[in-house]
Amino acid sequence: MSENVNHKKRKKAKGGKIFLIVLLTLILLAVAGVVLYYALRKPVVDNVHHEAGTFIYEETFFINDRIRGEFLTDISQIGISDLGEYAIQIQVRDRVYTSTLTIVDTLPPHGKALSPETLEGTLPAPQDCVKDIEDATEVSVSYKETPDVTIPGAVDTMIVLQDEAGNTTEIPVTITVLADAEPPVIEGAVDLTIDEGLTLEYFNGVTVTDNKDDNPTLEIDDSKVDLNQGGVYEAYYIATDKNGNMAKFPITVTVIPDVLAPVIEGTQDITVEVGGSISYRKGVTVTDDKDENPTLEIDNSQVDLDTPGEYEVIYTATDRKGNATSVSIKVTVMTLESIAMEQEVLEKAADILARITNENMTSMEKAFAIYRWTLTNIGYTGTSEKGDWIKGAYQAFKNRSGDCYTYFAAAKALYQVAGIENVDIVKSDTSRSSHYWSIINLGDGWYHVDCTPRTGEGDNFFMVTDAELEAYSSQHRNSHIFDGSLYPERATESLQHLVNYSKGTLTQ
């Protein structure tokens, strides 16, 4: 029995020993597990949710306040109101961990209502209806529904504040709509002057402003203005704002009548060989004080280029108003022989002119020198071939003799070369005799010059007036009677006090 007891005691002791070993083993495993957990667990938080607008603290990235680490990501460069996710790298001891920073905005914006006033028809900006807006992110301001501000009075509306995260706040606002009774203001409007027939730019320099309307309309009432008829007219600028307020500003429009005809320049007598051609417009210009493009018509219907003779060509210029002016030229159709004769005549005239004038002489002195040379260097025989002044001048320069036509023709050739304006005069009453002389214009009007010698009292005719010539003519069987309507209007002021015929001098 004692053996059994001992055996049981030994068996019991052995079992206790095994239990103790197992217990110690479990404790060791538990301790090892705890050590391993703490050794292997991540020291930083996987996700950090941060409310926008608040400071980001580094401590929030660690699982407890005992852990320290080095931030490889500079979190100071992340805006505290920049919503989104950011990867933050942190080194703890010899390892680098990544934590996700999520910046969120969960709070709605705040603001205070205003009570704006506006004129009818003008909607205030939503931003003008609230103040003191606060939120971590940018806030948009809008009307929940667009209010009707077309009728004066109090209008209730709702302003919506919405931040970047979509959080919204609604703020009730009352808008006071005032009646707009102030008309626009027109500035820069002045009385206008324009030439007849032109288009008027009414709005140059004219502006219109309004106290509530950024784009008031501006019109011109020129229904009473006739730009094609000279006169003084009344017109009105009319400005209107969107609420119907109107301003009216009167001006006068003065239309200057166009009464001046165009000016034709560059026309000249033309000499052409039989069978030749003529460029009538060459060198001819037309200008007008009002019309930039006056018309020019040339009537050369009388010219026969196949038949020798003298023909009239009429240039007529007309402006847009109908004012017209005409200039006539003479076209001389000549044989080649006659043209050669004309060239010889003009060369001979130039030679004579070079001997009897100089560049220091006035136009009147040159004309007087021509008068005296013709009067004293040609002998009167009473006969000549008439109808062609070139032949008459040729006879004068070659034979130094002839009748009144010869004297007239010689003087004409000299006038032409000297550049003195001259017109041929033909006696109108040829029942007793024919006669020829000239009128010349030196810039002060047309005067008569007759180089044919006569005998008796008052028989000198250099730069004489109609009255002076008529006084002689009436006493000498109408020697110089002519039709004045056929020629340019003559001057009436006498110049005879300047002429000393006996000495052959002029007093100037």
* Domain residue ranges in the chain: 47-104, 110-178, 185-254, 263-334, 345-506
Q: How much is the pLDDT for 213?
A: 87
CA-to-CA distance for 311 and 504, rounded, in angstroms?
38
Q: Which string of DSSP letters, residue by residue, matches 249-315?
A: EEEEEEEE---PPPEEES---EEEETT----TTTT-EEE-SS-SS-EEEEE-TT--TTS-EEEEEEE
Q: Are 424 and 412 in contact (CB under 8 A)?
A: yes
Q: How much is the pLDDT for 37?
A: 47
Q: Are 490 and 465 in contact (CB under 8 A)?
A: yes
Q: How much is the pLDDT for 287?
A: 97
CA 434, distance to chain mean position in Å, is 64
User: φ, ψ for residue 498 (rounded to 5)?
Assistant: -95, -10
Q: Are 418 and 464 in contact (CB under 8 A)?
A: no
Q: Are 161 and 187 in contact (CB under 8 A)?
A: no
Three-state secondary-structure class, residue 125:
coil
CA-to-CA distance for 206 and 373, rounded, in angstroms?
70
CA-to-CA distance for 374 and 390, rounded, in angstroms?
15
Q: How much is the pLDDT for 242?
A: 87
- Domains 263-334 and 345-506 belong to one CATH topology: no
Q: Is the pTM of this model over 0.85?
A: no
Phi-psi map region of 26: left, alpha, beta (phi>0 left; psi -120 to 50 alpha): alpha
What are the C-alpha distances in Å from 164 to residues 110, 135, 282, 466, 496? 14, 10, 81, 104, 107
CATH number of the domain at 345-506, out of 1.10.3470, 3.30.1330, 3.10.620, 3.30.1370? 3.10.620
Output DSSP code: residue 123: P
Q: How much is the pLDDT for 24?
A: 77
Three-state secondary-structure class, residue 28:
helix
Q: Are 120 and 178 in contact (CB under 8 A)?
A: yes
CA 69, distance to chain mean position in Å, is 74
Residue ranges of the chain with per-residue pLDDT less than 50: 34-35, 37-39
CATH superfamily of 185-254: Immunoglobulins (2.60.40.10)
CATH superfamily of 263-334: Immunoglobulins (2.60.40.10)
Q: How much is the pLDDT for 35?
A: 45
CATH number of the domain at 110-178, out of 1.20.1070.10, 2.60.40.1120, 2.60.40.10, 1.20.1290.10? 2.60.40.10
